[in-house]
Structure 1
């Protein structure tokens, strides 16, 4: 199987990715509309969100560059201090940008 690198081929790939993304999002919401949300299921959903976040962050912590490590540390510290995710994310992005700006 080959991937076309023409503009039309790229647009087709983007469109297919959008369709798959929408299908999984709406499909998940549709399936969950038939499930009664008990405390056990709610705990599972909350734990899964944390697991996905950890699965993204841990590889970055071990193999990331200085900007990634600065972003990770800054985000964690800001979250511990402010207890709000949006400022913590913004601080992490700013830290990564500054480290990458000054270290090349």
Structure 2
């Protein structure tokens, strides 16, 4: 089924996708809230989120230019010093932008 692309259908598709995204996120929380998980399973879940992050960041570090590597380093340092993810992400973005502006 093909929809004609109009402003209304574009907005409807965006809201539909947002709803599906929200349901998948909240669904996992609601399902896990009903389960009684042990400490071993909890450690596995916590380690998995770190593994997913490394799987995303490692290719950038390996294939990226100097600006990307410097941005990753800045992000890491700010995260270690402040423990604030948003601030660390902002530092990484600013570092990459400034590096590319001047070099």
TM-score (norm 2): 0.76
Q: What do residues 27-60 of structure 1 show as CA deviations (whole Å, max 9, x unaligned)?
A: 1111101211311111011111101211221222
Alignment pair present for 1:56 and 2:52: no
Q: How do 1:1-104 residues align onto structure 2 when only pairs under 5 Å count?
A: 4-80=4-80, 82=81, 84-86=83-85, 87-103=87-103
Deviation at 1:72, TM superposition (A): 0.8
CA RMSD of aligned residues (A): 2.4
TM-score (norm 1): 0.76
Count of residue pairs the alignment pairs up:
102
For structure 1, the 5+ residue unaligned runs are none
For structure 2, the 5+ residue unaligned runs are none
**Inter-partner Cα distance in structure 2 for 1:39 and 1:51:** 18
Tell whether the 8 Å contact from 1:4 to 1:10 is kept in structure 2 after alignment.
no
